[in-house]
Amino acid sequence: MNLASLIYYLLRGIETYSVLLGLYALLSWFPGGYDNIFGQFLARICEPYLRLFDRFNLNFGGIGFTIIVAIFVLNLASRLLVRFLVVFL
C-alpha cells in the first residue's frame, strides 16, 4: 500500500466517522431514537469518543456543543496526521 492510498483510506474513515457522529446527534431530536438497533449501534460506536469531551462541559444555554467540537477535533487531527505523513514519509 502506498502513501496516497493510506491517506485516502484514512480520510475516508474519518469522514465516515464524522457522518456517524452527525447521525448520532440527529437521533437525539427523536424520542426513542436510541432504542432501535441503529441507534444502539451508533451509541456503541460514538459514545466512547464523545466521553473524552464530557469533562469540558460544552453546554451553553441548554444546547450541547460536544459533538461539534468532537468533529472539529477529529478533522483537525486528520489534517495534522496527513501533513505528518506527507512530510516524514
Q: For residue range 18-63, what is the model confidence (pLDDT) as tens digits?
A: 999 999 999 999 999 999 999 999 999 999 999 999 999 999 998 8
Residue 87 is predicted with a pLDDT of: 86
Number of Cβ within a 10 Å radius of residue 33: 16
Write out the three cell numbers for 40: 444502539
Closest CA to 57 of 73, 71, 74, 69: 69
Locus of grid cell 459514545 = 47
- Tell me phi and psi for residue 61, to 5 degrees: 65, 30
Residue 27 is predicted with a pLDDT of: 94
Q: For residue range 4-13, what is the model confidence (pLDDT) as tens digits?
A: 888 899 899 9
